Amino acid sequence: MIGKEGSVRLLMGNESVARGAVEAGVGVVIGYPGTPSSEVISTLAPCAEELGIKVEWAVNEKVAFDVAAGAALAGCRCLVTMKSAGLNVAFDSIISVAYGDVNGGLVIYVADDPAVHAGMEEQDSRFFTKVSMLPMIDVFDPQDAKDAVVEAFDYSERFKIPIFVRSTSRVAHMRCGVKFGPVRSSVREVGFQRDIRRFTRASPVWCMEQHTRLNEKVEKMKPHFESSRFNELHMPENNAGVGVIASGVSWNYLHEVVALHNLVELATLRIGTVNPLPEKLIHAFIDKVDRILVLEELEPYVELHVKAMIADAGKNVRVYGKKDGTLRRVGEYNYDVVERALGKLLGTELAERNPELDKIRDEAIKVAPRRPLPFCPGCPHRATYTAMRQALRELGYGEGEAIITGDIGCTILGMHPPFNMCWTEVSMGASIGLACGLRYAGIDKPIIATIGDSTFFHAGIPPTINTAWNDTNIVIAVLDNRITAMTGHQPSPSSGYTATGAETEPIEIERILEASGIKKVRVVDPYDLQHTKEAFIAALKERGPSAVVLRRMCSLVARRRGLLGTPSVVDPERCTACLLCLRTLSCPAMSVSEDGKMVIDPSTCTGCGVCAQICPFDAITAWRQKD
């Protein structure tokens, strides 16, 4: 991040966003981990002190946004980062802050995920601009992302309005050469004048004044966005009335198809400022063409606008896109999708077809074995779900009888075989509310909500209070591995340190559960199967709400810190090749030897000792892992 102006570095989209913020003189960078957005903060955190900026993982996206908005009110430049689902969480505050003014630049970086590389919905966050009015720049590569962040800060400050910079997984995780610009100082004059007519929404008159001003601001920004470098019109002299409009990553694919097929006569328009849209450029474009293709992943956002503008202008331009079925609303685009769509627009087949090769390719895909994501070797969640199942079995509940509502993060992997435990996954913290609802509906079997520590801090506390307040008979299981694991081991409030590594007192979940009104809270080490099973049995026997905290550090973190135990060893004399251990735990450290007996790979085994507790023949020797 600390590179000289003019130097070119190979950067990932998210690293480039981080660099952009540094160049813009950002003072506060804050967010909640979420693939594919997390690398912005993990890139900046290690050099935060050197750069003199505040870098923080917040407990959730709304808190992150509120903190950033507060700093922006005082004149500081702030960047907030989140994945698309996080935008939903932060939006409550975003739409309100949109009504007021910000004094320092406030940029919201949101990364969508077409084709669901990271889990969760294919949300098209561009539509949030319609609800909030807020401006947005949709970026197409890492260089563009950096440039957009730098300029978004300037626009935001000039027009006193928060601005979105939006990317998608393929841009956020793409690497390319990025040219560094000058770095501005993050030291600024700060201050905040009391003005409740601007900074509260406490009167309908004020609120509508603010709403009017918001509309005026966006209107004033229009010409600036219109002529910005984020829109690009290319209208060749010899164009035959055919053009393509592209937004986001599709702009790359379009360039590549144009280069390969030498389509130099094609008119092209890149739209980066998706709100406010560059209407003059679009008019100039639709004036000259009678057939256009709109390339944008997910929803027909640009397409609908362009169609409306064509109708308003009384033109007759045929639009190829989602509405006519040329392209899909689901999944991501690539070179081949764009090549095919361009072929349709041009009325000629561009792609070479080879059905025979495709047939072999289909065969190959069928032969490739599935590779479901397992719990990592030594993962404490494997032990938790194993003990939970033992407890349910002991209470007489068979496979598929008790309902387990799962939550976001590694804990949801309990839905896979051989555990087959989690039934639902909705949103951060939703496991607890869902569990209550299932009980209200009249389900009389055990209902357990499983949730990780970071997810609990994020959105699990209000539903816990709700459960206790209304005395609902469910079990809340908090799988406390002391980290936000799934997104790459960002610290959570239970880790004992912050984003920049500053030590803090770990915030213990049992104290929150108790303070929330849950009377029976049990804390266990899931590596101890017997005690964990007993804790679940006791919790399931309670008549009201109860909770179990499963506390054990993520095994990947333990490995990194050199805290692993001695690898477990199988005694081939005692092993009967029953493979109960493998079928119960499916640990990646396990394999089967030629004579059918269990083998544990010492370089993969973490020494958690759980398999030794499963073996009915005492064939596995384990040494208890260090705490």
Partner 1 sequence: MIKEYNILIASVGGQGGITLARILSNAAQSQGLKVRVGETLGMAQRGGPVQSHVRFGEDVYGPMIPKGRSDVLLSLEPAEALRVVRYIGKRTTTIMNTSPTLPIPVILNEATYPDPARITSILERIGGRVYSIDAVELAREAGSLRSMNVVMLGAYVSLGEPILTLDTIEESLATSLPSRYLEQNIRALKIGLEKMKELISEA
Q: Which residues of this chain interact with partner 1, rule CB under 8 A?
A: 8, 10, 35-36, 117-119, 141, 169-171, 173-177, 249, 252-253, 255-256, 259-260, 334-336, 339, 351, 354, 357, 360-361, 363-365, 367-374, 376, 417-418, 488, 556, 582-583, 586, 588, 590-592, 603
Q: How far apart are CA 454 and CA 60, in angstroms?
A: 9
Q: What's the closest the beta carbon of residue 117 comes to partner 1, in angstroms?
A: 4
For partner 1, give the closer residue by CB, 295 or 317.
Answer: 295
Amino acid letter for position 117 = H
For partner 1, give the closer residue by CB, 434 or 564.
Answer: 564
Q: How far apart are CA 440 and CA 473, in angstroms?
A: 10
Question: Closest Cα to residue 53, out of 192, 183, 193, 191?
Answer: 183
Q: What's the closest the beta carbon of residue 338 comes to partner 1, in angstroms?
A: 9
For partner 1, give the closer residue by CB, 260 or 313.
Answer: 260
For partner 1, give the closer residue by CB, 118 or 518.
Answer: 118
Q: How far apart are CA 104 and CA 72, in angstroms?
A: 4
For partner 1, give the closer residue by CB, 131 or 357.
Answer: 357
For partner 1, give the closer residue by CB, 98 or 585.
Answer: 585
251, two tokens: 């702009």
For partner 1, give the closer residue by CB, 388 or 410.
Answer: 410
For partner 1, give the closer residue by CB, 118 or 244.
Answer: 118
Locus of tokens 């917040």: 58
DSSP label at 490?
A: B
For partner 1, give the closer residue by CB, 68 or 486.
Answer: 486
Q: How far apart are CA 394 and CA 156, in angstroms?
A: 60
Q: What's the closest the beta carbon of residue 186 comes to partner 1, in angstroms?
A: 29
Query: Which residues lie closer than 8 Å to 536 by C-beta, 6 or more apart?
Result: 387, 388, 391, 392, 448, 475, 477, 548
For partner 1, give the closer residue by CB, 212 or 591.
Answer: 591
For partner 1, give the closer residue by CB, 221 or 257.
Answer: 257
Q: What's the closest the beta carbon of residue 356 comes to partner 1, in angstroms?
A: 9
Q: What's the closest the beta carbon of residue 621 comes to partner 1, in angstroms?
A: 21
Q: What's the closest the beta carbon of residue 493 comes to partner 1, in angstroms?
A: 23
Q: How far apart are CA 580 and CA 564, in angstroms?
A: 24
| Contact criterion met (CB below 8 Å) for 139 and 170 | no
Q: What's the closest the beta carbon of residue 622 comes to partner 1, in angstroms?
A: 20
Q: What's the closest the beta carbon of residue 427 comes to partner 1, in angstroms?
A: 18
Question: Closest Cα to residue 494, out of 524, 456, 464, 520?
Answer: 456
Q: What's the closest the beta carbon of residue 525 comes to partner 1, in angstroms?
A: 23
The phi and psi torsions of 182 (rounded to 5 degrees) equal -70, 150
Give the torsion sign (CA, 375, 379, 384, 387): positive
Residue 2: CB atoms within 10 Å: 10
The phi and psi torsions of 501 (rounded to 5 degrees) equal 90, 5
* Per-residue CA distances from 546 to 465, 470, 531 (Å): 12, 13, 16
Q: What's the closest the beta carbon of residue 315 comes to partner 1, in angstroms?
A: 30
Q: What's the closest the beta carbon of residue 351 comes to partner 1, in angstroms?
A: 8
Locus of tokens 């949300």: 123
SS (H, E, C) 311-375: HHCCCCCEEECCCCCCCCCCCCCCHHHHHHHHHHHHCCCCCCCCHHHHHHHHHHHHHCCCCCCCC
| Contact criterion met (CB below 8 Å) for 286 and 273 | no
Q: How far apart are CA 516 and CA 523, in angstroms?
A: 16
| Contact criterion met (CB below 8 Å) for 609 and 624 | yes
For partner 1, give the closer residue by CB, 462 or 602.
Answer: 602
Q: How far apart are CA 442 and CA 426, in angstroms?
A: 21
The phi and psi torsions of 324 (rounded to 5 degrees) equal -95, 5
Q: What's the closest the beta carbon of residue 496 comes to partner 1, in angstroms?
A: 22
